[in-house]
Amino acid sequence: MKQFPTSDLLKSLPRQFFASLVKKAGQYIDQGFDVINLGQGNPDQPTPQHIVAKLQEAAADPINHRYSPFQGFNYLKQAAADFYWREYGVEIDPNKEVAILFGGKAGLVEIPQCIVNPGDTILVPDPGYPDYLSGITLARAKMAVMPLRESNGFLPDYHDLGSEMLQKAKMMFLNYPNNPTGAIATTNFFEETVKLACEHDICIVHDFAYGAIGFDQHKPISFLQTEGAKDVGVEIYTLSKTYNMAGWRVGFAIGNASVISAIELIQDHLYVSLFGAIQEAAAEALTGPQDCVKEIRERYERRRNVLISGLRSIGWNVSAPSGSFFAWLKVPSGYTSEEFAAILLEQAHIIVAPGNGFGNFGEGYVRVGLLSSEDRLLEAVRRMESLEIFQ
């Protein structure tokens, strides 16, 4: 059979980091090992039952068997606006300031293609979510990194960027609570961000995927709560983490009307909107009972506490995350991120994500997911202890 070469565009895309983790896990599982996979970000609990019930009901309605409106049903946009008013006190125009997304990742990859041109510069956190790079590559844009250092609370220090870089920048990705570091943003930081964006005409794209997951009674703040934020950017919200709906692929962009219009335009060419029953279920999630969100957040906090206290008890001096469902752990002295991750996989059959997979400034760390039961996390701690690395 003839083999057709792939396009230069596909060849230019970055290696899919998480796909390689899945492949590694599968190789050891196929060999019969009991692998504890702490490397991925896939919620392990089911979607709350009242959301599933709404999907089942809506799937039987013939109106949802037809094409949905290209830009989504108005009731879901209204639900997103109501959600932001209830949770953050932010007033949103559902007709102009909300775009329905095929999951948060789709929006993050689409946005660079919507508002920057080839050769334009996009500021990206390092370490950061690897799929930001996919959208930048597809837009033929250039990337400039913003180092996230522990000494600055894993927030970028804008004074380090320099006037030349800021003059070139057309867009900036931010993400708090942060993947992979688990850091949270402050009000002062977001105020500084809005000021910077106004001065340099930079569009801010805040990835708020872990917005519902803050620990120690600290509720993560929305970028849009900052005065002037809608003038300079948008926020991407996904239902994947807040409601354990990762496989449903539904989220929304919210904020600046011109960016929302551009997102909807590109999606008009790519999709014919989401299955209507999923949109009904998403609206139920956003506006229905919220006890499930509290339960999800508390489960991750219990897991965080079990993991961090366990690791400290075996001599690994680690810091606890403030949000998200990840822990960002400094590797023991004498190891690189990949060396330490390889030892855990080969000798303890534990998968963690090496920090350099999230950028050069991720070197020296590994990311551990809080997406296994407390018993499995404790088993992982016991296996690590048996390696006698921390004695």
Predicted pLDDT of residue 140: 95
Cβ atoms of 125 and 148 closer than 8 Å: yes
For 339-387, what is the HEC assignment?
A: HHHHHHHHHHCEECEEHHHHCHHHCCEEEEECCCCHHHHHHHHHHHHHC
Residue 51 has pLDDT above 90, yes or no: yes
Per-domain residue ranges of the chain: 8-46+292-386, 49-287
At 267-284, the pLDDT tens digits run: 999 988 899 999 999 999
Helix (H) or strand (E) holding 258: helix 257-270
Torsion sign (Cα): 241, 242, 243, 245: negative
CATH of domain 8-46+292-386: 3.90.1150.10
Q: Which long-range contacts (CB under 8 A, 24 or more apart) does 162-168 make?
A: 165/121, 165/123, 166/196, 166/199, 166/200, 166/202, 167/200, 168/120, 168/121, 168/144
Percentage of residues in the chain having pLDDT higher than 90: 87
Residue 243 has pLDDT above 90, yes or no: yes
Percentage of residues in the chain having pLDDT higher than 70: 98
Residue 206 pairs in a beta bridge with: 174, 235
Per-residue pLDDT band for 12 (boundaries 50, 70, 90) equals confident
Per-residue pLDDT band for 33 (boundaries 50, 70, 90) equals confident
Domain 49-287: state its class: alpha beta
Predicted TM-score of the model (pTM):
0.95
For Cα atoms 276, 281, 283, give the angle at the middle one, nearest 5 degrees. Answer: 95
